[in-house]
Amino acid sequence: MTLSASSNILKGSSPRNRSAVGPAAGKTAPRLIQDLFTYDPEYEERAGRNLLTSQPPYYDPKAEPTRAVPVRNCRHQLLIKHDQSVLPRDEEPPNGNVYKVACFCKTCRWHITLYADCREDGVRNTPCGPGVSDPIHHFLYVLGDSERGPHLAQRNYVFQCSAPKCPIGLTVDMRPPRFSQEQVTLLTDKEMLRRRLEKAKEIYGEPNEVQVARPVDSLDFLCTYLTDSLNPQPGKTRIPVKNRKFAKTFGRDCDSILTYLGFTFQKDDSQEDFWHLPVLPGAGDPLDGENHRTQIEDAKYELQALILRWPAAERTSTRHVVSLPPSARPLIEKALGCRQYPKRVTPGSRHSDSEEDHPYYAGLGALGDFNDDLLFFAFSCQVQTDQPNSAYYYECLKGIAIGRASSPLEESVQILASEGYRTRQEVAEAYRFIGVDPSHSHMEFLTDEHIIGQFRARLQDIGPGAVEETRTALRVIGVARNSRKIVQEASNAIETYEQALSWLDLDKSASDEWVVSVYAIKCKEDELNARKAVDIIAEHTKSQALKDFLASGRVPEGGEMEIGDAYALLDINDRSQALDPEMLRTQVDVFIADCPDRKEKFEQAYALIIKSREDNLNRSQRAMAHPLDMWPVGCLNNGNTCYLNSVLQFLFTIKPLRDLVLDCDKHFQDVSPEALQSKRVGRSHVTVEKVQRAQQFVRELGGLFRSMISANADRVRPKIELAALALARDGPDEVARTAPPTAPPSPPPSPKLGLGNSGLGTMDGLPVVGPTNNSGVSPHGRPEHDPTPEKPEQVDDTGNTAQVDSDGDHLMESGACVKGDTPKFTEPPKQPTRPPPVPPRPLDVKKIEGLAAQQDAAEILNRIFELMSCAIAGEGTMEDGEQLDAIKRLFFSTVTTVSDSDGKVTRSTTPRDFHMVSPGRRDRPLYAALDDEFSLSEVSETQSKTDGADSRSVRRIFEYIDSASPIQIINVRRLLFENNKAIKDESHLALDNPLYLDRYLGKTASLSEEALQSLRTEHWKLRAELTLLEARKKELHETALKTDLGVVVDEAANFIKGLDDVAVDPEFMDTEGDSPSHAELVNRLEIRASELRSEMEDLEDRLKELDEQINKVFEDCKDHPYRLHAVFMHRGSAKGGHYWICIYDAQNNVWRKYNDEHVDEVDVKEVFEDGKTGNSTGLVYVRDDSVNELTEAVCRALDKDTEMSESIAEMTGSPLVGAHAVAQKAADMLQGSQEEGEMQVIDGIKPAGDETKSKFDSVS
């Protein structure tokens, strides 16, 4: 397969075989052999996976690099066992044969046998190889010993080639060494050999000059015995126990080994003791399996390998001449058909199996020496056998193409990209783009239908400019999931009945009449596609009425209209919202004006909806999830103000603060100059204007609180003025200043306004502005031919009070600029004879959004506290001159900073309304984060003396809470900056409940200041040791080679050892010369690597011990418990996201999630567990003995006389008075939607597409 074939391999050939357990990654034959040579069953548990059968971990470029093969794994040096093998012969075709390659590792002594069964099996009769479509085998793991048992247990694994016509099946059998380490020690331990000599002297009277047997002698003698048993000769079948060499070498304590090998102990006629050699069967067919003979052969091979481990000087005078067999690797490659595969031409080559390719190669089941064609073949195999992970395989191929700078490979990657292939990150972004959590992509509940439904819902909420990008995202998902249905949906093709229904947003139950109704609407988008869709439906349903309609253009009559058809005909998508009859009537009149010939149908739909609403009004109220008088209300979003809504909900639950706000007039500050003379808030003097602005905010907040208490609805809308006062640093006027310059007035609109005009007529003499942009004006708000912005005062900037239900794109603690608003154009008025009074300028939602986006999340709450302190009268003065009031008593603690420089101790106190903690880029408990903030720090100082010399000193600084407020706020620092880029720290902060503040206080009820300070000192000492050890751990772990120092040293030893191995390999060795030896250097490096590994293990043990000791220092300090009351949550990135809050109702023992207008009970796991749905950005704790006194989550007293229209007015932010007011409200909302490129929901009525642009032409 060549690269020129591109991705046709993914389409044209027969489907590849898959694993019996479903989609799974495979490995090419060279990769499988490479993994076989590095898989060590003895250390499988440490590796955490089976390197031979499991897929390698996905490579994450941002994560710390990890080794694919654990350091301790044996890099096998497999040698062939000829007597037990059936090997392929040169030029022999592989089909019809069974090959057996039996080998053993001379290092770890494991025995590995490969059975390659190439016999034909039905249609599987064409083995892979050169000249066929599959140049090499691609193996899938089928079955085996997947459960990791004892590390020295036998293992058996079965693989099958994935090529549809290839018959080869591969079985890998792995057996542990015949000699255990204990047996080897028993044979070679010098102390044991010395004791055997002493025992022999004692029993058999050996002469004193006899020397202790050498360790190599026991191996040599036993190897000789086994050789004799394999080749029995008369007179060499038994060994006298009293034999001097046998006695001092084996004695009687090696009897268990001899018995294990099959030796038998007997006495002869003279009552002498003898060991008889094992009696073995003759050599048989290697395919017959294991017997006693093969066991003895294996033992002999191991003894030979053990003998060669001893230095040559110690191997002199041995009986047995050791001659190891050649390497088994070439024979394994030949049996698996990859001895001569196409390789990449590079200046270097792999020196040993200890070298690792980039993880992307392992991901493709390939090796780094594959040429481009073979690499693409490996990619195609992986995609076909494991389609759900195709994005990762594409990422691997793309990364390798870039790394190789291979033009053919890069061209193939581009072709794949044009077909919809993307990397994991791009696929994840595509999921997020349509509003699906990427972590759910492989879960069963996320079906193709669910994704398509989410996509269609997304299309309804975006402007035309974003449609193509959304379809591209869906296509990426479809390719990644191998879903033809999703790909077709993304292409917007209309070829089938299902696609026609989808394009028209219909289901199979739609009547012919309703098909025609939707067709009329869709014609304005794309008449050709609309007609094609109806034609396909008519053919599929055999509908003569639809065929007649397409031919004549006449609407089929008859049939009873259903309630669903009525809502759809009037383009009402949300049937749950309350409808104002006058607004609905206006909507119907607009539709009739657009399509007079369908007046009867529109009137029928209107009557049906009104009747349905009247019938179901009481029933719908009773069907609410929670009784209104027993459940908190939600707050509608005023345009990316989700965090402000969370703050307002939190403030409402603080009972003393709520009572103060509701009865604010009694607490307001006198604004006379005399009363304000000494008033200081936020360490600055307070002006009259600031107090008045603050009191306006408190009044607005009180109005909201009263609505939250009395509303006969489950949601209310905070007023725009409240948001402006809370968000603007200098008051509501800042809202106007945040906007970019606006445009001058446009020319007057045409008398007859249609789809192409810039206005919608007039209302009470005033122009109605719709969601279209004047053709002569750029989207940025000024004429295209005039690059100079005019002054804002030249236009009457009409505000936008429409609902903007956007829960995304709220910048997280960012300083981004506000996006420019699309201006609103009116007819220029005639020059007045005198200046008219200037009316209050309405506030713009988009500008409120801009203010929200520019601020730190905690800053808003801090500003509200400052506003409230400015608004109310003080109760006294604090030490620093700051006003003491209810806000200070509730939320402000006194924090003391202690500074010690050369024994000179100074203390300073500061009021503080929150504590800032950081997760530290790692999951950890809240206590650990707080410990960092209240820890001891040291600052070096340099002072110049009079004699010109410098003196250095160290200043030690720490803080404690001198007076703790009853409500503690802890803000979590999530925004970080790396490489001049903002990122979000998404580490989990484990919350404690209760949280004991004792360790952070000056003193407690049971501990004096000195006793508590003593505990703190002990705590600091342990933490200091912990810091040093972590620094040492970092030195050992983070090297320039991105791996552990012990691994680096071990790899150096392996590399040098690999040079020796290459030199002694018969395939590479010059028979005339000797290979160099680096045994001494290798030995020292291995010793040092072992020392470093031991140090690392000791470090880990000590770090765990320190963690336990640190946790125990304050375990008895529990005098000051605080209960978790609220958690501010954020979902998204540093660039944007959504806020909500979880609040605990202590009276009813329930946690609730306040997500804008939705208030729902939440599982406690979502609050305390590992941040799967969001991350905590703020925590609120309340003193345990004051929880019921200070907090009250539910405070409801419904106004029984409130009418439904008032409830609607509460939700929309203004009363509805007559058709003109409703229409004006709708016009304002439509104007506001212009900036977002989407239409807004107005009291349950959602305007359709372009046909809504002239809906109010007939209103006078």
Q: What whole-number distance in Å separates Cα of residue 314 and Cα of residue 188?
A: 13
Q: How far apart are the first and last CA of the chain?
A: 73
**Confidence band for 66, pLDDT divided at 50, 70 and 90:** confident
- Identify any residues that bridge with 1191 across adjacent strands, giving them in sequence order: 654
Are both 701 and 770 inside the same structural domain? yes
User: Tokens 């104002």 sit at which residue?
Assistant: 580
Q: Return all residues near 1233 (Cβ < 8 A) that are at least 6 apart.
A: 771, 802, 804, 1239, 1240
Residue 746 lies in a domain: yes
Q: Name the nearest CA neighbour of 385 among 482, 486, 487, 488.
A: 482
Contact by Cβ (8 Å): 176, 110: yes
Q: Name the nearest CA neighbour of 381 among 658, 613, 134.
A: 134
- Identify any residues that bridge with 382 across adjacent strands, giving them in sequence order: none
Buried b (16+ CB within 10 A) or exposed e, 546-558: beebeeeeebbee
Q: What is the DSSP secondary structure assignment for residue 926, as one 8-state letter? A: H
Cα torsion angle, 915, 919, 920, 921, sign: negative
The percent helix, strand, coil of the chain (3-state, each to 5) is 45, 15, 40
Nearest 10 degrees: Cα torsion 673, 678, 684, 690: -30
The token duo for 909 is 């106190």
Are both 357 and 309 inside the same structural domain? no
Cis omega (within 30 of 0) on the bond before 740?
Answer: no
Interhelix angle 448-460/467-481, nearest 10 degrees: 170
Q: Please state, as a whole number, how many other Cβ atoms lie within 10 Å of the Cβ of residue 590.
A: 23
* Antiparallel, parallel or unpaired: β 684-685 and 680-681: antiparallel
pLDDT value at 780 more than 60 = no
**Confidence band for 239, pLDDT divided at 50, 70 and 90:** confident
What is the residue range of 821's domain? 634-827+840-872+1208-1254
Q: What whole-number distance in Å separates Cα of residue 733 and Cα of residue 149?
A: 73
Q: How far is CA 307 from the centre of its chain?
A: 53
* Antiparallel, parallel or unpaired: β 924-925 and 989-990: parallel
The token duo for 370 is 């594959």
Greatest mean pLDDT among 308-312, 1057-1061, 1249-1253: 308-312
Residue 63 lies in a domain: yes
1015 vs 529, residue with greater confidence: 1015
Are both 25 and 135 inside the same structural domain? yes
Tens digits of per-residue pLDDT, 672-702? 888 888 889 988 888 899 999 999 999 999 9
Tell the burial category of 18 from Cβ atoms under 10 Å away from its Cβ (0-12, 13-18, 19+): middle
Are both 348 and 258 inside the same structural domain? no
Are both 747 and 822 inside the same structural domain? yes
1192 vs 202, residue with greater confidence: 1192
Planar angle of CA 921, 925, 927, nearest 5 degrees? 115
Are both 124 and 222 inside the same structural domain? no
| SS3 at position 682 | coil
Greatest mean pLDDT among 332-341, 514-523, 838-847: 332-341
Q: Name the nearest CA neighbour of 1166 among 1182, 1150, 1184, 1181.
A: 1150
759 vs 308, residue with greater confidence: 308
The token duo for 923 is 């999951």
Q: Return all residues near 1218 (Cβ < 8 A) that are at least 6 apart.
A: 582
**Confidence band for 1192, pLDDT divided at 50, 70 and 90:** very high
**Confidence band for 623, pLDDT divided at 50, 70 and 90:** very low
Which of 73-77, 204-208, 304-308, 445-449 has the weakest average pLDDT?
A: 204-208
835 vs 660, residue with greater confidence: 660
Q: Percent of the chain having pLDDT more than 90?
A: 25
The token duo for 47 is 């590796």
Q: How far is CA 1121 from the centre of its chain?
A: 34
| SS3 at position 848 | helix
Element (H, E) at 925: strand 924-925
Q: What whole-number distance in Å separates Cα of residue 892 and Cα of residue 106?
A: 72
pLDDT value at 1088 more than 80 = yes
Q: Return all residues near 277 (Cβ < 8 A) that are at least 6 apart.
A: 225, 228, 229, 232, 236, 237, 238, 239, 263
Q: What whole-number distance in Å separates Cα of residue 1230 and Cα of residue 772?
A: 9
Tens digits of per-residue pLDDT, 403-416? 989 889 999 999 99
Are both 512 and 658 inside the same structural domain? no
Greatest mean pLDDT among 145-159, 378-392, 920-934, 1201-1215: 378-392
Half-sphere exposure of 802 (CA within 13 A, CB side): 29
1243 vs 519, residue with greater confidence: 519
Residue 666 lies in a domain: yes
The token duo for 315 is 């191997």
| SS3 at position 982 | strand
Q: Under the phi-then-psi rule, with left for phi > 0, alpha for psi from -120 to 50, and beta for the rest, what region is 684?
A: beta
- Distance set, CA 749 to CA 603, 911, 1231, 1254, 1257 (Å): 31, 60, 16, 13, 13
Q: Name the nearest CA neighbour of 564 among 556, 575, 553.
A: 575
**Confidence band for 1077, pLDDT divided at 50, 70 and 90:** low
Contact by Cβ (8 Å): 353, 68: no
For range 66-74, the mean pLDDT: 81
Of 333, 351, 386, at which residue does a domain stop?
386
**Confidence band for 730, pLDDT divided at 50, 70 and 90:** low
Are both 680 and 821 inside the same structural domain? yes
Q: Return all residues near 314 (Cβ < 8 A) that are at least 6 apart.
A: 214, 215, 216
- Distance set, CA 1062 to CA 39, 75, 311, 1101, 1189 (Å): 20, 13, 19, 39, 80
For range 44-61, the mean pLDDT: 81
Are both 225 and 356 inside the same structural domain? no
What integer pLDDT is reported at residue 768 of this predicted model? 32
Of 1083, 1113, 1143, at which residue does a domain stop?
1113
For range 316-321, the mean pLDDT: 76
The token duo for 791 is 């002054």
In the chain, the number of structural domains is: 5
Q: Name the nearest CA neighbour of 1140 among 1100, 1110, 1167.
A: 1167
Which of 563-572, 624-633, 924-933, 1122-1131 has the weakest average pLDDT?
A: 563-572
The token duo for 1012 is 């508590």
Residue 420 lies in a domain: no
The token duo for 596 is 């007079």
Q: Return all residues near 828 (Cβ < 8 A) that are at least 6 apart.
A: 745, 748
DSSP annotation string for 809-829: ---SS--PPPPPPPP---PPP
Of 1090, 1113, 1136, at which residue does a domain stop?
1113
Residue 564 lies in a domain: no
Tens digits of per-residue pLDDT, 908-919? 888 999 999 988
Are both 48 and 155 inside the same structural domain? yes
Residue 653 lies in a domain: yes
Cα torsion angle, 1142, 1146, 1147, 1149, sign: positive
The token duo for 479 is 């390719």
Are both 652 and 767 inside the same structural domain? yes
pLDDT value at 11 more than 50 = no
Half-sphere exposure of 1229 (CA within 13 A, CB side): 24
Q: Radius of gyration (Cα) for the chain, nearest Å?
A: 41
Residue 618 lies in a domain: no
Element (H, E) at 1110: helix 1079-1113
Which amino acid is it at 928?
Answer: A
- Helices (H) then strands (E): counts for the chain: 41, 34
- List alpha helices for 654-781, DSSP H: 655-662, 673-676, 688-710, 720-727, 733-737
The token duo for 223 is 């190897």
789 vs 485, residue with greater confidence: 485
What mean pLDDT is reported for the chain?
A: 76
Q: Please state, as a whole number, how many other Cβ atoms lie within 10 Å of the Cβ of residue 155.
A: 22
SS3 of 948-994: CCEEEEEEEEEEEEEECCCEEEEEECCEEEECCEEEECCCCEECCCC
Q: What whole-number distance in Å separates Cα of residue 250 and Cα of residue 242?
A: 11
pLDDT value at 762 more than 70 = no
Cis omega (within 30 of 0) on the bond before 994?
Answer: yes
Which amino acid is it at 824?
Answer: K
Residue 504 lies in a domain: yes
For range 479-507, the mean pLDDT: 80
Are both 1060 and 1103 inside the same structural domain? yes
